[in-house]
Structure 1
């Protein structure tokens, strides 16, 4: 990168890249495509990867790679997960700390294996205590670029077979503190990774430009490898998204035996659209399923595989995480619990609960119903009610103000004085837009209206007030 390009990036770091694209003819010495990638990448990183954005000299990839890479919160989650699997949980990781993104977005980091539910606290000091990232401009050592020799591979304790931009790898390698290998097929990403890992102050890092499957084959059995991380590409040659395991690249169903034989633990990152039940059935030795959400949007599905100490009595652990909320159960609990269904009259229902996105994905409704003594409105509504307030429900909680049928007079009476509301539908024939038009209500305000179907197939509106956290 020449000086003209560096100066252009520095001068225009806050400008609109769409407008900057027209300045190419006026700045012939500037590598404009590269400069625009850097400006756009750093702007995205300020929200998605704030610690990376705070460090000068980070090289950002093209736009699509920035969109597809993990956020800082989810990368930290995986780092704490890997540390827990290897028994490296420090005091801060035992608390399961949280990293803020933007104003309010937070991701929970998983606590110790022995806990029933994860414990959470502020994550402000985690990276400072664990030295995940160094201060701007500080370089601890240079990332190495080793050939895939038997000696170098045999020393590796953590390998990322699908390195990409290197976000997940950087946090996991720094957290584990072991000799780690980043593997990536695309040469330009490897070159960027070398520069970035140096600026991030990562120690004991090997950058390998090559095919992850070939590197896996080169790793000898009983090499001391502790963790394999793999994030299969979820797009086909035409760029279309795929969700089945066999359609992803590489196909982990074909690699699972070799990975299980060569590492203590295998962590597989999959699309949140994937059916985790099907994935578990297609893989062997799945010990944990993690459904990770940020701001109530499901971001990742993580599977932990291990053949170590696996027997017929081993249970599958399901971990649902959304910001500061966590819910943990196992497959035996899911099989033995039955979801309570609320009576259609709702006479005793005073409170309404909407499970968070991770729970909706995992489908642990029977365990949720039993553990919190709540009843679901109907089999497919996925909304719960109770007579008494339930503290710490993993989702949103509301106080029911009124329950209305769609009788015009009844609707008019219950909606009197309401000019705007937040509307949601669950198992209901109309869309939110259609219902809003019918009710003649604007969006927003303090009122929350849920349109749903009860156990007797009747359609109702539940008019509620949101219960704020710590209220």
Structure 2
């Protein structure tokens, strides 16, 4: 019991940010179940997309997603083969006063083999692995979605897969039959989840949505067809600099987003924008440009000395030096109020943008 209490003490300082409601209700965790769980913010976003009578979670884990989906479904059935974890989850659900959730001690395959219930949505956390290694293939996941489709398709017309944030979206389009929608979800400027909605017997173009969840839980969404043609070019004296949310970049919607806002994307490979006016509610970060100039070692050294810049936040895209190399070569410490962006333009000219928030 002592080791179990020690585990709670290790997890709780982190959990109060990722799982505030669970923490406020004194729920229990194991380190593994905590690390594998969705955050409350991402779980609530997912649950807002669907509603119905019956919901099935094939990879219950800590039950955070079940808690969120219980708000929009009458009945939640959640599976996990870990008996000790399941007992802890049932205790947590009592603390959370969840009365429409059932945790079943079972693997996905065992349960589906005898299932005769129709579900409005089946959810699978396909980023789970039995081995502690990163994998970007659906076939390596546990539960194995591809091996379960024959059992899944007869009982549900909607299947939602939670996938690794590192998975390739083109790979998904090529390997998931009846894929209708991809959601790329970032939280506080970090991609956390890729969601794939499969609807058996529905054949349509795959829709892609980028989602950014802010530090206070506010949600911004952008959906569009992927666009590879930069339409806004020729802006030489911009006043504002923009960095789109990581979910927009991961979703391949960077150019579509800049075109829609009539901003100039620096190049197809450089997901930075510039413009003449501030954009209210921009999905990402906005900066006022103090100065910009073509990069050379001599010009940057001169600029840093003239403006007495010894500390700055540095970001680079499509640039031939890493952030670490830039800091080392030019002796720039991390942090402060100065922002330096390094990028390569369409004409291969390397640029430096000095900005303030």
TM-score, normalised on structure 1? 0.70
Deviation per CA, 1:106-134: give whole Å up to 9, x if none: xxxxxxxxxxxxxxxxxxxxxxxxxxxxx
Distance in 1 between residues matched to 2:121 and 2:192, nearest whole Å: 22
Post-superposition offset of 1:408: 5.5
Is the aligned partner of 1:275 residue 2:168? yes
Structure 1 unpaired stretches of 5+: 1-30, 87-155, 467-471
Q: 2:11 aligns with which of 36, 41, 48?
A: 41
Post-superposition offset of 1:295: 0.8
Distance in 2 between residues matched to 1:43 and 1:400, nearest whole Å: 38
Q: Are 1:234 and 1:243, in contact at CA under 8 Å, matched by a contact in 2?
A: no
Is the aligned partner of 1:400 residue 2:294? no
Post-superposition offset of 1:264: 3.0
**Bigger radius of gyration, 1 or 2?**
1
Q: How does 1:430-445 map to 2 (within 5 A)?
A: 430-445=321-336
CA 1:408–1:304: 2 relative to 1, 3 Å:
closer
Deviation per CA, 1:24-47: give whole Å up to 9, x if none: xxxxxxx21122123333333222
Match of 1:28 in 2: none
SS in 1 for 2:230: coil
Q: 2:279 aligns with which of 390, 411, 426?
A: 390
Q: How does 1:362-441 map to 2 (within 5 A)?
A: 362-407=251-296, 410-415=299-304, 416-417=306-307, 418-441=309-332
Distance in 1 between residues matched to 2:148 and 2:105, nearest whole Å: 20
Distance in 2 between residues matched to 1:204 and 1:398, nearest whole Å: 47
Deviation per CA, 1:59-96: give whole Å up to 9, x if none: 322x222122111111111221223xx4xxxxxxxxxx
Distance in 1 between residues matched to 2:301 and 2:63, nearest whole Å: 56
Deviation per CA, 1:381-406: give whole Å up to 9, x if none: 11112233333321111222212223
Deviation per CA, 1:322-375: give whole Å up to 9, x if none: 123523324xx225x6224745xx523222211111111111123113211122
Distance in 1 between residues matched to 2:296 and 2:62, nearest whole Å: 56
Post-superposition offset of 1:246: 0.9
CA 1:316–1:419: 2 relative to 1, 3 Å:
same
TM-score, normalised on structure 2? 0.90
How many pairs align?
351
Is the aligned partner of 1:359 residue 2:248? yes
Structure 2 unpaired stretches of 5+: none
CA 1:389–1:257: 2 relative to 1, 3 Å:
farther
Match of 2:226 in 1: 334
- Segments ≥4 residues shifted beyond 4 Å: none
SS in 2 for 1:377: strand
Q: 1:171 aligns with which of 57, 68, 71?
A: 68
Distance in 2 between residues matched to 1:67 and 1:219, nearest whole Å: 30
Q: Which moved more, 1:355-364 or 1:386-395?
A: 386-395
